[in-house]
Structure 1
Amino acid sequence: MADLKEDKIDFRKLEKELENAMKADAKYWRENDAKMRAVEQRVESYEQFRDIVAASHLQPLEKKDKISESKLQQPWNTLATSDDKKQELRLTRDTEERLSAGNLPHNSLEFTRDWRRCQDRYKLLMTIGGTRLEKVMKSDIGMGILGEILVSLNASFVPEDATAVTDILECLPNCGRFSLALDFLSRQEKQSAKELVEKLEDSCESNEDEDVKSLREELQKLGAIYQLNSKDEC
């Protein structure tokens, strides 16, 4: 005869398992929706993509929601903030001294490190040049780096650097994952690329040097490569 105690079902345990399974399923679909939104928004970096997914469980505040004043009593750690700034300044100074001494990055990771710490990014690009930049980022362009390069070149461009800047724009498409980086350009970054090419074209128009004039055909090719005439442009 069967033991009724052994056949007894633990409904509390089943209910708990069902609840956990439903939470796991809800989390999966919530994060999946967040990933799809991030792709549709064409976020500028993997960090932004990760943050959107990580914050998928948060809900926006409504008018009836109130933030307790007791939660705002904790002061900021001003000492830690000051130390962080000092550390950042020291790293920036050390990086610029090393670059000035000719110790340029050898790979994508080193370039990204120096790029984040360097204050004069335009000078860094002019120092490295297109040919070396292509070798440095042969494996891949760091997430968000392409757009930042285009913005920096456009913001600090001077006509005297037309040939060097064009060389950089020509070499970047040969770097790893260029197409992916291009797809993730923001509207502002695409606008910077368009303005930069227009500035290069203007420098050709105003310069009688034959070498500079020969850049016109190359600039037309660059316009196609960087999709400056696509429907997505600003």
Structure 2
Amino acid sequence: MKKLRLYTVLAASIAATSIGSAQAQSTTFDGFFGQVGIGYESVAPSLSYGNINITNNGSPVASLPISSSVSNSNSFAGTVTAGYNFAITKDFLLGLGAEYSPIAGSKANFSGSNATLGTINGQYNKENSYNIFLSPATPIGKDGLLYVKVGYTGASVKSQYSGGNSTTSNLTGYSLGVGYKQFITAGLYGFGEVNYASYSNLSFNDSATSGTYRATQTTTISANAVNLLVGVGYKF
């Protein structure tokens, strides 16, 4: 009977220690995590059309300037993120993560025009964006985490012209972000963050031939994007 009581006390002690360890672990952000966020995003693109250069048997015939116009796209945003936080010291963590946005942005208008050729209109939207980032962070209190993000980002821009043709351009660049995480219970936490992405210039050439005449033109696009996200995550 004494042995039974001893075993009971020992088992209770081990269980209490395990629970205490689990609770302590749940309030540290080192290790694997996954999260989902929703919010708002604004995309500010840049669009530049080069002159349409026309030649006949290689000899210049005309150079027609094209003016451009493009609107910002403002839309609902959502991301799915997974990563790992390495505990460098008790006051410094370094995270490595990847995030993907499965939600396509809202469509916005663009146009190009020339006094002789007229105007062509279309719509674009950003989709399939991703971000691979490093995230230096420092704990705040017992259950908070302040962090910044520096990353490599990419996205597709789909353009739909009024004539029915469509093109897709893949942009890449860098990203910056800052955010805060707060444990809610056990491994569950809430977070809020703001992110900025700068997509570098992408140029592509178009050409058309009719008999001995040839027309060429270069288009350059780039974009900046800002999003505000809130969401929940779990630290495993």
Task: State the TM-score, normalized to the length of structure 1.
Answer: 0.23
Higher helix share: 1
Relative CO higher for 1 or 2, CA cutoff 8 Å, sep ≥ 6?
2
Select the structure that is richer in strand.
Answer: 2
